[in-house]
Structure 1
């Protein structure tokens, strides 16, 4: 792949992988870099786990005194382990689930760990962790039955709490994924708009500057191959070169001005665009450069602005190609059509006729013309014909 294609692929991969990384779908045990918000959330989670632990301290009255100290130490360590929930969420949740089979004071840390897994892991993992938590309720209800509830009452209450915590985590995860999805779509739409704007400006630069520079090359080539030309002819050619260079600089300033304007938030204005009536001026300019050009441009009435602009660009690029590849050959330009038929533009020149050096080109002119015609809803055909002519023929719909 080329450099731009690699960059775009990397941006697309980043756009879709980034939500998963931030949601914690990475590798277990990866390094954690907490933001300010993460520190606040983790502190609140630690306080939440500690608060739940303190609420369950009275339940230790039914536990023998030697085991109460063990419960308190493990409960404190369990609350402290909440700070590891981002790096080892699944491991922490499973450890808390196993400890909760017989210990009372790990319930707060177990709830936070279960919630973390539901938020940071897909259902195929978080669902299994939930199942482990529910299964641990069977021995817990047997070993630590509530004085006010039966065995099944204790199990049902614990299962309801586990399901509520899990559901809360799933809702948070779904909301985060929705937000990231909307952001990704917005970024994609912005990138698409920028790409289309760059392509529009690139087409504008190619259409304008390729024409101007080919005219410069044509006049310069005439001076090179006619060193014995009369002073009047040399002066006329030099004047044409100066005028073409001046016009090319003006066009370049206009395009650069649009690029500079594109940095603002306001809408980027279009440069003044040519119309179908300007084809006559284009033909006269080509004739002054020495091109043998025949133009058939009937009176078509009021032509839509976009249609006239596309027709002008097709003629301009076709004449530029004729100067590049068949300099000195006669060129025929025919424009015909109407409201009901659409507009047909045909540019024809003999193949294999070229006077003077060949002007280099990028080879993208006809491709750009085809894209322009298709974007306008029309079609373009180009290539050599049996009679030895090279023809560029486009049809464009006449839409108001």
Structure 2
């Protein structure tokens, strides 16, 4: 088990315990001196007590070894008894009880083993033995409490880190879903325009060269834009959605609706735009982008599934009232033969729901297909 680098607090705690060990050892030496022991055992006792004090600096790297050596030294050196308590606390704070148990068993036997190696020492009275056992139990309980608290803090830190990683994964998935919705709306719109232009060329093989060149230019430009947008999204997905590497592409707003309608008009669609919003640019970015995507999907569906006829787009609302977007087109079989996955309207409904709005779509009694959405527009 490796020990992480010590902090300033750890160094301060080690210094405090080292001073405490010196104080306890000094008291033990003085107590032995009052009993007038023999010179040689007394000197060895004091030296072993001093050596046990130096082991405090190794307690974090070798808690078990420190405890075993200190308990062994305390069999001969009574002045090392105080350091033994520090060693038992350290072992209990850093190791599991099943590792500390044998060491504690050895410490319990110390009062009875000392007279065997030192004939000048008698077995202490029973109350001193019980007092020593009480001190051992107290430091063990303290050490186990410190270990349990440390484990609890580590578990809490791991849980927080796990929750943070889960949140990041959810954010990344949400970003991917958003990108998928954006690409569906954008590519479906552009590819339907390309299909419409190509269909016009197919139906008019005798068109003037100028008209053919103009339609081919529009098709080339639309294909180029679609490839660029697809390349950008694939690059974002490969880069792990790291958008810090470059600026994001400007997102469409409510003010860009007229340009969107003009693109469809240039493709041959008859689109009537009725925008009753006084200042489209003043609409919140999220609301404007949502309205743009709704109109974009409505025009795409009109090209895919609607009969030839005029498509009407109505946008109205204001701050505090909400924004209403409605797209109507004659219902019928697919006029341009453009395939579709049928998930565009589902994605729009989800987009509107996430924004706090609602979306309705379906055929009307007058033979039209109506797409209507309401988005909240706060004051």
> What TM-score bracket applies, with the shorter chain setting the length?
0.5 to 0.7
Which residue in 2 is equivalent to 1:50? 68
Indicate the residue corresponding to 2:372 in structure 1. 393
Task: Give the structure-1-normalised TM-score.
Answer: 0.63
**Where do 1:184-333 residues align within 5 Å?**
184-252=162-230, 255=233, 266=244, 269-298=247-276, 300-302=278-280, 303-306=282-285, 307-326=287-306, 328-333=308-313
> Which residue in 1 is equivalent to 2:343?
364
Tell me which residue corresponds to 1:161.
139
Give, in whole Å, the separation in 2 of the partners of 1:159 and 1:312: 73
On the 8 A contact 1:255/1:271 being kept in 2, the answer is no
Aligned Cα RMSD in Å?
A: 3.7
Residues 48, 301 of structure 1: alpha-carbon distance in 2 compared, 3 angstrom cutoff: same
Deviations 1:179-220, CA, capped at 9 Å, x for gaps: 212322332333233333333333332222221111112222
Aligned to 1:180: 158
Shift of residue 320, structure 1, vs aligned partner:
1.3
Residue by residue, what CA displacement relative to the aligned partner does 1:46-104 show, whole Å, maximum 9, x if unpaired? Answer: 322223323432289xxxxxxxxxxxxxxxxxxxxx9xx98xx676566x389559744
State the TM-score, normalizing by the size of structure 2. 0.66
Q: 1:257 to 1:338 in 2, by over 3 A?
A: same
Q: Tell me if structure 1 keeps the 8 A contact 2:284–2:377.
A: no
Instruction: State the distance in 1 between where 2:70 and 2:59 align.
Output: 16
1:84-163 counterparts in 2 under 5 A? Answer: 92=99, 96=102, 103-104=109-110, 146-147=124-125, 149-150=127-128, 152-163=130-141
What are the superposed Cα offsets for residues 326-382 of structure 1, whole Å, 9 maximum, x if unpaired?
A: 26354221112223422110011233233232x223333222212222233322112
Contact kept, 8 Å, 1:328 with 1:354, in 2: the verdict is: no
The answer for unaligned runs of 5 or more in structure 1 is 1-33, 61-81, 106-143
Q: Residues of 2 paired with 1:356 and 1:162: CA distance?
A: 83
Q: How far, CA to CA, are the matches of 1:98 and 1:232 in structure 2?
A: 99
Q: Matched residue of 2:279: which SS?
A: coil
Q: Find out whether 1:344 has 2:347 as its counterpart.
A: no
Alpha-carbon distance, 1:310 to partner: 1.9
CA distance in 2, matches of 1:278, 1:102: 85
Q: Deviations over 1:239-277 (max 9, x none)?
A: 221221233234345546766887768486331222223
State how many pairs are aligned.
302
Distance 1:320 1:168, change over 3 A: same
Structure 2: distance between partners of 1:296 and 1:265: 36
Structure with greater Cα Rg: 2
